[in-house]
């Protein structure tokens, strides 16, 4: 169930005419920035469906740009996102594409920073809610509504059991846990949603206890 109350359907406090085309788009951009883990230098937005047809008129372009710049949904700077991007030296482009059978409000965002790059396929599903469909080409779904750990690691036996044990020992309740890999024993990504705010001590414990863990990102959009 996506919605828990009428307030979920009405949407969040925001700047812009549409929760799907503005608030949701800002949140998608926020997620991309958090997954990247650093200020983006180059971003490409590939829009499909309704996003592609109306993104300029509905301000979706400014909302997506504002999101990757780290602005929240109620920021008064969203209409000035292009000027903010210019001030930050951010290079960006928008393109209309056919992404196949996806939600009408879907965008594929490719963002590059000083040291890494990420690709996020995400949809704005109404009321300001969003859902990531793919992360770096892997079918990993999450919304960012709960504190979400993105774990980049080698595919090894016992990895999920170790993560679960550390979280349980640190007092965290796992709401959802999903792993995808490119090949057996190769690169893998685990998405772990928890019910409690993630503290730095947990991230440190995971890094120190799991040698095959290469990197961690924390995603949470309010």
At the topology level of CATH, where does 148-219 sit?
Alpha-Beta Plaits (3.30.70)
pLDDT confidence of 13, banded at 50, 70, 90? very low
Distances (CA, A) of 222 to 12, 45, 142, 160: 9, 22, 14, 27
pLDDT over threshold 50, residue 170: yes
Helix%, strand%, coil% for the chain, nearest 5: 30, 30, 35
pLDDT over threshold 70, residue 12: no
pLDDT confidence of 6, banded at 50, 70, 90? very low
pLDDT of residue 20: 59
The neighbour count for residue 44, using CB atoms within 10 Å, is 15
Which class is domain 6-135?
alpha beta
6-135 and 148-219: identical CATH topology: no
- Mean pLDDT of the region 33-54: 93
pLDDT of residue 172: 98
Burial of 78 (0-12, 13-18, 19+ CB in 10 A): buried
pLDDT over threshold 70, residue 60: yes
pLDDT over threshold 80, residue 187: yes
pTM listed for this prediction: 0.89
pLDDT, tens only, 108-156: 999 999 999 999 999 999 888 999 999 999 999 999 999 999 999 999 9
Quote the CA–CA distance of 74 and 135 in Å, as a whole number: 26
**In the chain, where the domains are located:** 6-135, 148-219
């Amino acid at each position: 169930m996506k919605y828990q109350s009428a307030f979920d359907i009405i949407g969040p406090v925001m700047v812009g005419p549409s929760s799907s085309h503005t608030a949701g788009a800002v949140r998608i951009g926020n997620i991309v920035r958090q997954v990247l883990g650093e200020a983006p230098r180059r971003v490409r937005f590939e829009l499909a469906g309704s996003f592609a047809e109306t993104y300029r008129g509905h301000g979706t372009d400014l909302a997506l740009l504002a999101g990757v710049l780290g602005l929240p949904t109620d920021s008064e700077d969203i209409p000035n996102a292009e000027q903010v991007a210019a001030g930050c030296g951010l290079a960006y482009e928008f393109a209309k594409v056919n992404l196949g059978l996806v939600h009408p409000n879907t965008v594929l965002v490719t963002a590059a920073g000083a040291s890494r790059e990420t690709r996020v396929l995400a949809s704005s599903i109404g009321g300001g809610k969003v859902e990531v469909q793919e992360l770096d080409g892997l079918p990993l779904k999450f919304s960012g509504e709960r504190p979400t750990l993105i774990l980049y690691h080698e595919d090894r036996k016992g990895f999920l059991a170790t993560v679960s044990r550390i979280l349980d020992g640190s007092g965290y309740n796992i709401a959802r846990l999903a792993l995808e890999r490119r090949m057996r024993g190769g690169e893998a990504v685990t998405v772990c949603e928890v019910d409690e705010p993630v503290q730095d001590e947990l991230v440190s414990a995971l890094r120190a206890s799991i040698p095959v863990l290469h990197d961690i990102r924390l995603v949470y959009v309010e």
